[in-house]
Amino acid sequence: MQLIDRISNIFHEKFGHTPMHIARAPGRVNLLGEHVDYNDGFVLPAAIDRATYVAFSPAGTPHSSLVAVNLRNEASFSPQTIPSKTQPDSRRLPDWAHYPAGVMWSLLEEQLVVPAINAVYASDVPRGSGLSSSASVEMAFMIAWQSLGGWTLPSMQLALLAQKAENRYVGVNCGIMDQFASACGVNDQLLLLDCRSLEWQSVPLPEHASIVIADTSVRRKLTSGEYNNRRAACEEAVRLIQKDLPEIKSLRDVSVDEFNRFAGNLPDEVAKRARHVVEEIGRTIQARALLEAGDVQRFGRLMNECHVSLRDLYEVSCPELEAMTRIAQSLDGCYGARLTGAGFGGCTVNLVVQEIAPSFAESLAKQYALETGLRPQVYISRPSQGAGLL
Ligand code: GLA
């Protein structure tokens, strides 16, 4: 509530009236299926109870004016300045504004009506923490423009347009998972998405289990380059395996047995990346059955295996994520713990026996601080509803 009051007050000071609406779009945490969305795999994220909030009204001017409260910065853009990533006064558009400007760009590409807005936004999804703060910003602005534009699109379509903004305007070649989770979140449910068909279903969080998010407080560096490299390695693997299996379209189409047969034809690094993806897709398929059967113990073990694979094969972990995961896995009541999101820093996700989640969170924070000298944030998180107007 505090954030909402804050952005409403700042909006009033800046624009002289109360905002017409407030849009909210959550961040997400991913339980299983990491770095497989851009390989047509399955993912199992949940929208979380932390979000970006945008207070907005139609601007009545040709350009949109935005205030980013967390960053104490302002920016303006219009359909004319968007292609050159500049502002109406010719200054460079700051990096943070590429996300909302990218959303406008993506909607204009669809020939949709996208009125100029005055907007003030703030988020309690920490940036660069692996909880999809960018997707939550994109989706909050999607909702803002949808509500002023006089058109309505299905949530998945909004997610795809936000992904296009990030791929083509911001320049990060991300998959669909983050925007999907932010757009389609369901209270108290996990979301199981087939990234090829885009069919999805909600799956109840296992009974008596809580999600604990542990932020190492280390922020990702150079991720877009590392991320795009990983993606390129997967594409290279597909190209090389197609020599033996011409019918495959992505690593989703390669079974673990087939992969074992052909892995020797791949350069070492490409083989490691691709093995993670092929085995991780296998884990998500098992996970579905385990969740249906209520076998949270074995589901947790898959989370632990996923972490090892992200560390050793995909190589996206870091010492702090290792410390956080190792400590969590040694504590009572932890079904599974692993890094979540793209990696290189940020958060771990822990599935924990509900009754002891508070003491688990406390011990994890304490031991991590002792070991690393860093101050982590560890909290119990509830799956929340997807993006919408408040
Ligand atoms: C980032 C991307 C997602 C996904 C994850 C890794 O969050 O935005 O599309 O690829 O990394 O699973």
Per-residue confidence (pLDDT) for residue 291, from 0 to 100: 94
Among protein residues, the one with the nearest Cα to ligand 1's atom 1 is 342
pLDDT digits (tens, 9 = 90+) for 251-292: 999 999 999 999 999 999 999 999 999 999 999 999 999 999
Which of 34, 36, 37, 163 best tests ligand 1's pocket when mutated (most atoms within 8 Å of CB)? 37
Structure tokens at 183: 């757009």
- Asked if the model's pLDDT at residue 222 lies above 80, the reply is no
- Confirm or reject: Cβ of 342 under 6 Å from ligand 1: yes
- Confirm or reject: Cβ of 178 under 6 Å from ligand 1: yes
State the distance from the centre of ligand 1 to the C-alpha of 175, rounded, in angstroms.
6
Please give the Cα distance from 193 to 219 (Å, whole number): 27
State the distance from the centre of ligand 1 to the C-alpha of 174, rounded, in angstroms.
6
State the distance from the centre of ligand 1 to the C-alpha of 50, rounded, in angstroms.
18
Task: Tell me the average pLDDT of the chain.
Answer: 96
Please give the Cα distance from 52 to 5 (Å, whole number): 13
Per-residue confidence (pLDDT) for residue 207, from 0 to 100: 87
Segment 354-368 shows an average pLDDT of 98
Give percent above pLDDT 70 in the chain.
99
- Asked if the model's pLDDT at residue 223 lies above 70, the reply is no
- Confirm or reject: Cβ of 175 under 6 Å from ligand 1: yes
Segment 60-76 shows an average pLDDT of 97
- Confirm or reject: Cβ of 193 under 6 Å from ligand 1: no
Segment 299-310 shows an average pLDDT of 98
Please give the Cα distance from 100 to 116 (Å, whole number): 12
Please give the Cα distance from 313 to 124 (Å, whole number): 32
- Confirm or reject: Cβ of 166 under 6 Å from ligand 1: no
pLDDT digits (tens, 9 = 90+) for 100-133: 999 999 999 999 999 999 999 999 999 989 999 9
CB distance 126 to 133 below 8 Å = yes
- Confirm or reject: Cβ of 174 under 6 Å from ligand 1: yes
Structure tokens at 86: 């500049």
Residue count (the chain): 390
Q: Which residues contact 318 (CB under 8 A, 6 or more apart)?
A: 216, 218, 343, 344, 345
- Asked if the model's pLDDT at residue 52 lies above 60, the reply is yes
Question: Which among 381, 374, 372, 384 is positioned nearest to 340, based on CA atoms?
Answer: 381
Per-residue confidence (pLDDT) for residue 40, from 0 to 100: 98
Can you state the angle between helices 268-292 and 296-312, rounded to 10 degrees? 170
Structure tokens at 227: 């991320």
Please give the Cα distance from 268 to 291 (Å, whole number): 34
What residues are labeled active site? 178
Per-residue confidence (pLDDT) for residue 344, from 0 to 100: 93
- Residue the block writes with tokens 């993006």: 387
- Asked if the model's pLDDT at residue 221 lies above 80, the reply is no
pLDDT digits (tens, 9 = 90+) for 1-10: 699 999 999 9
Which of 48, 174, 180, 195 best tests ligand 1's pocket when mutated (most atoms within 8 Å of CB)? 174
- Confirm or reject: Cβ of 164 under 6 Å from ligand 1: no
Per-residue confidence (pLDDT) for residue 239, from 0 to 100: 98
- Asked if the model's pLDDT at residue 245 lies above 80, the reply is yes
- Confirm or reject: Cβ of 148 under 6 Å from ligand 1: no
Per-residue confidence (pLDDT) for residue 26, from 0 to 100: 98
CB distance 310 to 343 below 8 Å = yes
State the distance from the centre of ligand 1 to the C-alpha of 291, rounded, in angstroms.
22
CB distance 175 to 163 below 8 Å = yes
User: Residue 220, SS3?
Assistant: coil
Per-residue confidence (pLDDT) for residue 329, from 0 to 100: 98
Which phi and psi (to 5°) does residue 144 adopt? -60, -50
Whole-number Cα distances in Å, 180 to 53, 167, 175: 17, 14, 9
Per-residue confidence (pLDDT) for residue 176, from 0 to 100: 98
Structure tokens at 45: 């994220």
Please give the Cα distance from 165 to 99 (Å, whole number): 7
Q: Where do runs of H (alpha helix) occur along 118-171?
A: 133-149, 155-164
- Asked if the model's pLDDT at residue 224 lies above 80, the reply is no
Atom nearest to 36 CA in ligand 1: 12
Atom nearest to 166 CA in ligand 1: 8
Atom nearest to 175 CA in ligand 1: 9
Question: Which among 96, 95, 67, 93 is positioned nearest to 80, based on CA atoms?
Answer: 93
Query: For residue 54, which amino acid is it?
Result: V
Query: For residue 138, which amino acid is it?
Result: E
Question: Which among 103, 99, 101 is positioned nearest to 88, based on CA atoms?
Answer: 101
State the distance from the centre of ligand 1 to the C-alpha of 148, rounded, in angstroms.
29
Residue 219 — pLDDT band, cuts 50, 70, 90? Answer: confident
Structure tokens at 360: 């688990």
Which phi and psi (to 5°) does residue 297 adopt? -60, -50
